[in-house]
């Protein structure tokens, strides 16, 4: 019912040119991500041998000593010990499998077993374990089934325990769902029976080693150069920006890029659940929410962190994702002098993002009229960036939308940029680019107040033609 109170998205936007008179768009082809060859499963006798040597290492090695060694030295020690034990076994037929067995035994002792090769593979962005012999990965936005696997359910549960124990989490029948974070920042979600009747499930979103910059997003076609120029000016002019998109659409990556435009002379407070941002500025204070424990205590809510951040003399407040009643405090901060805030929200369109924010404000428990909430939103949020994962797996910014104001019960908006497609190429990838609509921003005065030059040239539609 709430969404119906908003006018359809784009009603204040001028009609774009038709297909017949639209100039040809430059073709930007995302670089394909090759999938490395995976080893075939080991024969059963070698699997048993690997498990036997692994158990011997667990019994004979000084675990305290290994845990205190630097990672490189610890692996060298395990590799040497495993090599000696395999030699003592005098197993025939090892041949080319010897080095692989040693490496996999080291992964079992020191890491996450069969997941280790996938963690080292930079082409993998997400790992999904649906069972001991059913592991999928995401590469380049597409899902692939792998040849890796666990021995059985118990093996998978032991690896899960190895993940959650160091971060003080516990998973069992009484608490069958848990979120955790690996030391490198990768996010892990675990669900076990009875919540997952078919067996334990594990989802791991890898922490990107390579920090994407704006030039990377332009190169792969997620942003156009003109849009990037405008967003840089918008951040420098301290416009409040909300990044909207679905799960896995690239919201955090885009948030990282936007934050890179913030000056080194500003104090930035980040609020996340869990920590994911990779800000490079010198003056960054990271705050992290924490769920309640098994006893229901010790929770640190994002709303409490937002309110506390206001007392920490922030120049900017960046909320990794607005999920609940903290939306009310975020709007209050934006409307009381803390401009230049950036956050993300789960939504499929810019209009849906505003509806989501309104619903989350109501979760704060205040009995506010709908119009009062919309007035707060309209005055607080300046830009909405919609990012989505296309059918070919690529992530693209599809809209840069300006919040203009409010008329009656409707928040008015206009699209400054829209993604336009021109079909598919021979490989089936979507061809298109983020084009300006030709409309001029209503917030131009904010640029002038901050001494930021409005990149009006970037907003001219004719600049995007292939002939120029």
Same domain membership, residue 319 and residue 235:
yes
244 and 319 both lie in a single domain = yes
Strand order in the sheet with 142-145: 142-145, 135-139, 124-129, 201-205, 187-191, 177-181
Q: How many domains does the chain have?
A: 3
Q: Which residues contact 183 (CB under 8 A, 6 or more apart)?
A: 166
**281 and 372 belong to one structural domain:** yes
What is the CATH number for 138?
3.30.450.90
**Do 149 and 253 belong to one domain?**
no
The answer to whether residue 118 sits within a structural domain is no
- In the chain, what is the straight-line distance between the N-terminal and C-terminal CA atoms, in Å? 46
Same domain, 357 and 369: yes
71-89 and 97-110 are packed helices; what angle lies between their axes, rounded to 10 degrees? Answer: 130
Residue 117 lies in a domain: no
Residue 51 lies in a domain: yes
Task: Dump pLDDT digits (tens) for 197-219.
Answer: 999 999 999 887 677 899 999 99
Of 65, 83, 112, the residue that ends a domain is 112
CATH of the domain at 427: 3.40.50.300
Verify that 26 and 62 share a domain, yes or no: no
Cα 25 to Cα 465: distance, rounded to the nearest angstrom: 6
| Residue 269 sits in the same domain as residue 200 | no
What is the structure's pLDDT at 454?
A: 76
Residue 459, CA distances (Å) to 241, 277, 285 in order: 18, 29, 35
Q: Are residues 303 and 417 in the same domain?
A: yes
Residues 364 and 409 both lie in one domain: yes
Last residue of a domain, one of 209, 234, 259: 209
124 closest CA partner among 146, 139, 134, 102: 139
Q: For the chain, how are helix, strand and coil distributed in percent, rounded to 5?
A: 35, 20, 45
Chain-centre distance of CA 294, in angstroms?
27
- pTM summary value: 0.76
Residues 285 and 411 both lie in one domain: yes
113 neighbors 132 (Cβ within 8 angstroms): no
Q: Are residues 7 and 148 in the same domain?
A: no
Cα distances (angstroms) measured from residue 317 to each of 40, 238, 251, 308, 382: 49, 11, 17, 11, 15
How much is the pLDDT for 51? 87
Question: Considering 81, 112, 143, which residue would you say is the last residue of a domain?
Answer: 112
Q: 327 lies in a domain?
A: yes
171 with 263, same domain: the answer is: no
| Segments of the chain with pLDDT less than 50 | 1-30, 32, 463-468
CB 390 within 8 A of CB 248: no
User: Residue 159's domain spans which residues?
Assistant: 123-209
Whether 404 maps to a domain, the answer reads: yes
């Amino acid at each position: 019912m709430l969404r119906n109170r908003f006018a359809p998205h784009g009603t204040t936007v001028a009609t774009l040119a038709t297909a017949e008179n639209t100039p040809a768009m430059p073709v930007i082809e995302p670089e394909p991500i090759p999938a490395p060859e995976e080893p075939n499963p080991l024969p059963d006798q070698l699997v048993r041998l690997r498990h036997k040597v692994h158990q011997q290492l667990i019994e004979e090695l000084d675990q305290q000593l290994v845990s205190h060694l630097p990672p490189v030295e610890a692996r060298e020690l395990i590799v040497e010990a495993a090599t000696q034990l395999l030699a003592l076994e005098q197993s025939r037929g090892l041949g080319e499998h010897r080095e692989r067995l040693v490496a996999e035994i080291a992964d079992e002792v020191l890491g996450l077993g069969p997941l280790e090769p996938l963690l080292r593979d930079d082409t993998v962005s997400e790992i999904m374990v649906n069972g001991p012999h059913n592991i999928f990965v995401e590469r380049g936005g597409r899902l692939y089934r792998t040849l890796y696997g666990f021995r059985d359910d118990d093996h998978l549960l032991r690896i899960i325990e190895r993940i959650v124990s160091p971060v003080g989490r516990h998973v069992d029948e009484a608490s069958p769902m848990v979120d955790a974070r690996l030391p490198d920042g990768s996010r892990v979600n675990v669900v076990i029976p009875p919540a997952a009747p078919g067996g334990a499930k594990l989802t791991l979103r890898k922490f990107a080693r390579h920090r994407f910059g704006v030039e990377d997003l332009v190169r792969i076609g997620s942003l156009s150069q003109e849009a990037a120029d405008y967003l840089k000016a918008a951040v420098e002019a301290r416009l409040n920006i909300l990044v909207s998109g679905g799960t896995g659409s690239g919201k955090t990556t885009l948030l990282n890029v936007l934050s890179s435009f913030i000056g080194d002379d500003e104090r930035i407070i980040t609020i996340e659940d869990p920590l994911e941002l990779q800000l490079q500025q010198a003056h960054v204070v990271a705050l992290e929410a924490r769920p309640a424990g098994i006893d229901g205590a010790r929770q640190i809510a994002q709303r409490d962190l937002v309110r506390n951040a206001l007392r920490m003399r922030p120049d900017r407040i960046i909320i990794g994702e607005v999920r609940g009643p903290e939306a009310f405090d975020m709007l209050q901060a934006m409307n009381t002098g803390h401009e230049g805030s950036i956050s993300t929200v789960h939504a499929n369109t810019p209009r849906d993002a505003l509806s989501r924010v309104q619903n989350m404000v109501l979760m704060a428990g205040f009995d506010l009229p709908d119009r009062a909430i919309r007035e707060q939103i309209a005055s607080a949020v300046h830009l909405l960036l919609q990012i989505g994962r296309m059918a070919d797996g690529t992530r693209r910014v599809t809209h840069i939308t300006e919040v203009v104001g409010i008329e009656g019960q409707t928040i008015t908006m206009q699209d400054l940029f829209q993604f336009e497609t021109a079909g598919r190429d021979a490989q089936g990838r979507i061809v298109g680019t983020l084009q300006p609509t030709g409309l001029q921003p209503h917030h131009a005065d904010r640029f002038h107040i901050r001494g930021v030059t409005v990149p009006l040239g970037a907003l001219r539609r004719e600049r995007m033609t292939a002939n120029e």
